[in-house]
Amino acid sequence: MKQLMITVILLGSILFFSQSNNVVRSQNLASTDNATLVRAETKAERDQRMKWWREARFGMFIHWGLYAVPAGEYKGKRSERIGEWIMEWANIPRADYEKFASQFNPVKFNAAEWVRIAKNAGMKYIVITSKHHDGFAMYGSQVSKYDIVDATPYHRDPIKELAAEAKRQGLKFCFYYSILDWHYPAVYVDAAGKDPTAGNRTTKMKPGGKEEYVKYMKAQLRELIATYDPGVLWFDGEWQDWWTEADGKDLYRYVRSLKTDIIINNRVGKGREYAGDFGTPEQQIPANGLAGVDWESCMTMNTTWGFKFYDDKWKTPETIIRNLIDIASKGGNYLLNVGPTAEGQIPGPSIERLAEVGKWMKANGESIYGTTASPFATQLKFGRATSKPDRIYLHVFDWPADGSLHVPAFGKSLKRGYLLASPKTALKSVESSEGLVLQLPAAPPDPIATVVVLETKD
């Protein structure tokens, strides 16, 4: 019996390793252990689980919490730092920070409108902060009184409406959840000049506190999964000394046991690169993507995640659209943030930018959704590329002055080339050993990014 079991386990892991799509992943303990801890997952099963997420390419991040009340200013003090960290940079004791709850009354919140804004931008999923570092639950939690239903004059659960509305409009609904918690009683700060109950980058845990806190987190995660059925759990705040890789694996396994096909980011464990199901580069696009692993770049549209009323350093629509293309061309997803106000409104400049992205996505979305990374060995001089089995999409950022677009060889021959906007007009082309020269119109139909389709044959 025992021998049989060992054989089964060995065969299982050989199968897992041989099917694992790359060396990096199989070298990583978290991904292999996690999978075997839940139950051995084959590559096909994993591909199935990741399918919707890989095809989606574009999601909305929502940082919404009590920090929207001070909105970046406390006792007259402003900062260049991010808004949701105000409890840290303004050194606000727990008892004072709690008072923001009585001022949090998002009467202008409209779930249908938020989801419509995301959907019209071309986004396929939403990731909202269920609990950020400040420890405040933005949903109706039964295991804490420090939540939106119990502690604010709003007395309602906006997350329920948002989850239902996302489902209605066909977007996946997902949660951010912080492991770092500046409000939990067993957690304290031990740093020069800091109040022991304020926010801090690093925290300490009272003896025996972690076990109790992990139980609390698990109870909240159980509520989140049972009530709102999230597609992704996006952990954060894992860099605390008291949080270990083993804790991360245990939490990963716990969450998967509650919902087998859920997707979990890497910040559940200590390794920012490979623990969990996907990597999370923040405010940056890795030059060559992340080889062999799923990944998602999260980014702000101005310089903060949580709302700050005076942050007006907005990215242009061109930058945002080109970032989305750049990320897709490297095989990643783009999680683009909005920071709603304490009244429940997405800032106007965010809405305007998302509408611009939406216009572009409406015309060019097929060059993003369900694509894989660029087939070219080096980055194109004129822009970016994505691919599908029978075609390549070229995203032209820099329009050729003489109208001749030089495309390096891509190992297949060309069936037909055309502008995505005018599929009936074949572009004149000359093939050579160096590649392809396409004759484009004199002016770019879309100066942000014009998409050229290359239908290919093997």
Residue closer to ligand JFZ, measured from CB, 41 or 238? 238
Distance CA 7, CA 45 (A): 22
Helix (H, G, I), strand (E, B) or coil at 437: strand
> Which positions lie near ligand JFZ, rule CB under 6 A?
82, 84-85, 201, 236, 239, 282, 298, 305
Residue 389 CB burial class (10 angstroms; 0-12, 13-18, ≥19): exposed
The residue (of 85 and 295) whose beta carbon lies closer to ligand JFZ is: 85
Q: Which CB, 3 or 284, lies closer to ligand JFZ?
A: 284
Which CB sits closer to ligand JFZ, 81 or 167? 81
Cβ closest to ligand JFZ, residue 187 vs residue 298: 298
| Maximum alpha-carbon separation in the chain | 75
Q: Minimum distance between the CB of residue 270 and ligand JFZ, rounded to whole angstroms?
A: 12
Shortest Cβ 438–ligand JFZ spacing (Å):
40
Q: CB of 15: closest distance to ligand JFZ in angstroms?
A: 36
**Rounded to whole angstroms, how far apart are CA atoms 410 and 430?**
14
**Residue 56 Cα distances to 13, 77, 198, 283, 362, angstroms:** 30, 40, 38, 20, 14
User: Nearer to ligand JFZ by C-beta: 264 or 392?
Assistant: 264
Cα–Cα dist 365/310, whole Å: 33
Query: Tokens 């019209």 belong to which residue?
Result: 120
Q: CA torsion, points 354, 355, 360, 363, in degrees to nearest 10?
A: 130
Nearest CA to 63 out of 282, 285, 262, 304 is that of 304
Residue 402 makes CB contacts below 8 A (sequence gap 6+) with none
Q: Which is nearer to ligand JFZ, 114 or 305 (CB)?
A: 305
- Which residue, 85 or 139, is less far from ligand JFZ as judged by CB? 85
For the CB of residue 266, give the shortest distance to ligand JFZ in the complex, in Å. Answer: 12
Q: Measured between alpha carbons, how far apart are the two ends of the chain, in Å?
A: 51
Q: Name the minimum Å distance from CB 313 to ligand JFZ.
A: 17
**Residue 81 backbone phi and psi in degrees, to 5:** -75, 170
CB of 334 to ligand JFZ, least distance (A): 13
* DSSP letter assigned to residue 317: H
Dist CA 264 CA 308 (whole Å): 29
Minimal distance, residue 198 CB to ligand JFZ, in Å: 15
Distance of alpha carbon 178 from alpha carbon 63, whole angstroms: 12
Contact (CB, 8 A) for 419 and 363: no
Q: Nearest approach, Cβ of 179 to ligand JFZ (angstroms)?
A: 11
Nearer to ligand JFZ, 45 or 282 (CB): 282
Residue 348's CB is within 10 A of a number of other CB atoms, namely: 8
Find the shortest distance in angstroms from Cβ 202 to ligand JFZ.
9
Of the pair 16, 85, the CB lying nearest ligand JFZ is at 85
Query: Which of 254, 288, 286, 291 is CA-nearest to residue 269?
Result: 254
Least Cβ distance, residue 239 to ligand JFZ (angstroms): 5
Q: How many other β-carbons are positioned within 10 Å of the β-carbon of residue 457?
A: 9
